[in-house]
Amino acid sequence: MSGTIEFFIDGRPVTGRAGQTILEAAEDNGIYIPRLCHMKGLTPYGGCRVCTCLVNSRAQAACTQPIAPGLIVDSDSEAVREIRRQIIEMLFVEGNHFCMFCEKSGSCELQALAYRFGITAPRHPYLFPRREVDATHAGVFVDHNRCVLCGRCVRASRQSDGKAVFGFVGRGPGRRVAVNASGGLGRTEAATADAAMRACPVGAILVRGEAYATPIGRRPYDHQPIGSDVEEGGTP
Ligand code: FES
């Protein structure tokens, strides 16, 4: 069929549509490729590298790499899983993620990825950075200690809300998400109903009054690992 592209994921022949990324085509074929900065409806960013696959033996971000005829994608070998484990562990140690006290626990994609990959303790030393908490907005709370720099809030604010409330500033280890007003989020045009306020995969941006609203046992990842909605036999 015109526009249909045939390639291979983990030795299995699959098809996708021209213009799709490997991650999108994999998902259409019931194959979950772990991701963090990727969010449906937002432009792919390719920032976190959690979706790394070996594509014709080269490490590539599946969320930005377009499919092509005959590609050979390794999405789930031990070598690939180890790359992802290392990335996830580094995300944990370079921020302050205290899952047991976090309002996002049970709904947090970073925590869920750690469970999926069997990570109980990172192999790297914790950096314990000192970062700001922004409580200036009446409806939204921002804790930079939990930010993983995925940029989902930045893209959602621009692409979904038509605003530019969030943006990246700084370089290297000093890179962080900032708001477009001095004085904090409360001085911006941010609204509690903005898509950006619910785009965060971790507990860095939280809408006030929603914390712990879902009881333990009914949270998204209490019973099924992240990605099980994509995988065959999973529960949406
Ligand atoms: S999900 Fe692909 S780089 Fe983040």
Two tokens, residue 72: 């050979």
Residue type, 69: P
- Final residue belonging to a domain, choices 76, 110, 137: 76
Q: How much is the average pLDDT of 141-164?
A: 98
pLDDT computed for residue 211 by the predictor: 86
Q: How much is the average pLDDT of 50-79?
A: 98
Instruction: Report the C-alpha gap between 95 and 128 in whole angstroms.
Output: 6
Q: Do 125 and 175 share a domain, yes or no?
A: yes
All residues at 6 or more sequence positions from 40 whose CB lies less than 8 Å from its CB, including other chains: none
Q: Do 103 and 199 share a domain, yes or no?
A: yes
Which residues have C-beta atoms less than 6 Å from ligand 1? 35-38, 46-51, 61, 63
pLDDT computed for residue 230 by the predictor: 95
Q: Do 66 and 102 share a domain, yes or no?
A: no
Residue to substitute in 22, 42, 43, 45 for testing ligand 1 pocket (most ligand atoms within 8 angstroms of CB): 45
Place 235 in a pLDDT band, splitting at 50, 70 and 90. Answer: very low
- How high is the mean pLDDT of the chain? 95
Number of domains in the chain: 2
Place 233 in a pLDDT band, splitting at 50, 70 and 90. Answer: low
Write down the residue that tokens 């500033």 correspond to.
169
- Torsion, Cα of 210, 212, 218, 221 (10° steps): 90
pLDDT tens readout for residues 76-95: 999 999 999 999 999 999 99
pLDDT computed for residue 234 by the predictor: 47
pLDDT computed for residue 1 by the predictor: 54
Instruction: Report the C-alpha gap between 187 and 140 in whole angstroms.
Output: 12
pLDDT computed for residue 236 by the predictor: 42
CATH classification at residue 167 = 3.30.70.20
Residue 29 has pLDDT above 80, yes or no: yes
Two tokens, residue 144: 């930079």
Q: Do 9 and 103 share a domain, yes or no?
A: no
Q: Do 72 and 172 share a domain, yes or no?
A: no
All residues at 6 or more sequence positions from 162 whose CB lies less than 8 Å from its CB, including other chains: none
Q: How much is the average pLDDT of 121-125?
A: 93
**Domain-embedded: residue 214:** no
Range of the domain at 149: 94-207
Q: How many CB atoms lie within 10 A of CB 63?
A: 25
Two tokens, residue 181: 């007003």
CATH classification at residue 30 = 3.10.20.740
All residues at 6 or more sequence positions from 101 whose CB lies less than 8 Å from its CB, including other chains: none
- Beta bridge partners, 177, equal 168
Q: How many CB atoms lie within 10 A of CB 197?
A: 27
- For residue 39, with 0-12 CB atoms within 10 Å meaning exposed, 13-18 middle and 19 or more buried, which class applies? buried
**Domain-embedded: residue 89:** no
How far, in Å, from the CA of 212 to the mean position of ligand 1? 28
Higher pLDDT, 151 or 3: 151
Q: Do 17 and 62 share a domain, yes or no?
A: yes
Place 205 in a pLDDT band, splitting at 50, 70 and 90. Answer: very high
Task: Work out the percent of the chain whose per-residue pLDDT is above 90.
Answer: 95
Q: Do 104 and 200 share a domain, yes or no?
A: yes
Residue 37 has pLDDT above 80, yes or no: yes
All residues at 6 or more sequence positions from 87 whose CB lies less than 8 Å from its CB, including other chains: 48, 49, 50, 52
Residue to substitute in 21, 22, 32, 38 for testing ligand 1 pocket (most ligand atoms within 8 angstroms of CB): 38
